[in-house]
């Protein structure tokens, strides 16, 4: 995958069932990932804190907490892949996971980081294909990193998307 910025708007992309299912969002100084992502109605939006994901143990613990993974989650890659392909305890029209401070995710183990990306992509592909006759759903992971910290990882292995701050909608009252 390339490191070039996509012309695709992040908001439109998150509603799509098409790849890439995992993308890199580079933030300018002062921007917060949460303010750059507009979540479609009925979608589940979860924020995973990269600073808690420096090791696989930390990553699995953070995902278990944030995604409310079942007690039987085995805290390994195979178990994570199974749980992400299910999520029956979190019913939604689609799923968006935003990882903040992504340069801190498994910073000392590129192989484990690549496995993490593979598991996230596999989840996107599984949901896009529909499960057991169910309709296809969107499942996307957004790894957010500041411009300043992007260089802390040599190879992200992700396409970069462009996003613009989301403005609150104005409702006529």
CA pair distance 159, 21, nearest whole angstrom: 10
Q: Quick one: pLDDT band at residue 167, thresholds 50, 70, 90?
A: low
Q: State the average pLDDT over residues 137-149.
A: 96
CA separation for the pair 75, 19 (Å, rounded): 26
5-162 is a CATH 1.10.3470 domain: no
Spacing of C-alpha 128 from chain mean position: 15
| Closest CA relative to residue 141, chosen from 164, 152, 165, 125 | 125
**Residue ranges of domains in the chain:** 5-162
With DSSP H G I counted as helix, E B as strand and the rest as coil, what are the percentages for the chain, rounded to 5? 35, 20, 45
Q: Which tens digits make up the pLDDT trace of 83-92?
A: 999 999 999 9
This prediction's pTM: 0.90
- Per-residue model confidence (pLDDT) at position 1: 40
> pLDDT tens for residues 101-134?
999 999 999 999 999 999 999 999 999 998 756 7
pLDDT tens per residue across span 2-61: 444 444 578 888 999 999 999 999 999 999 998 888 888 999 999 999 999 999 999 999
Task: Give the Cα separation of 142 and 51 in Å (integer).
Answer: 15
For residue 117, report the phi and psi dihedrals to the nearest 5 degrees: -60, -40
Contact 96, 140 (CB under 8 A): yes
Cβ-based burial of 140 (10 A; exposed 0-12, middle 13-18, buried ≥19): buried
């Amino acid at each position: 995958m390339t490191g070039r910025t996509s012309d695709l708007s992040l908001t439109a992309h998150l509603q799509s069932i098409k790849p890439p299912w995992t993308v890199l969002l580079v933030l300018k100084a002062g921007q917060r990932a949460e303010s750059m992502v507009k979540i479609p109605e009925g979608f589940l939006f979860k924020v995973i804190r990269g600073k808690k994901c420096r090791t696989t143990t930390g990553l699995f613990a953070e995902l278990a907490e944030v995604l409310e993974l079942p007690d039987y989650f085995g805290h390994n890659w195979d178990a994570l892949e199974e749980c992400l392909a299910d999520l029956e305890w979190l019913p939604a029209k689609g799923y968006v996971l935003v990882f903040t401070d992504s340069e801190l995710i498994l910073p000392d183990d590129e192989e484990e980081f690549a496995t993490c990306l593979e598991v996230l992509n596999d989840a996107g592909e599984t949901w896009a294909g529909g499960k057991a006759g169910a309709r296809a759903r969107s499942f996307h992971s957004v790894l957010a990193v500041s411009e300043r910290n992007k260089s802390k990882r040599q190879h992200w292995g992700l396409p970069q998307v462009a996003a613009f701050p989301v403005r609150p909608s104005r409702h006529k009252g």
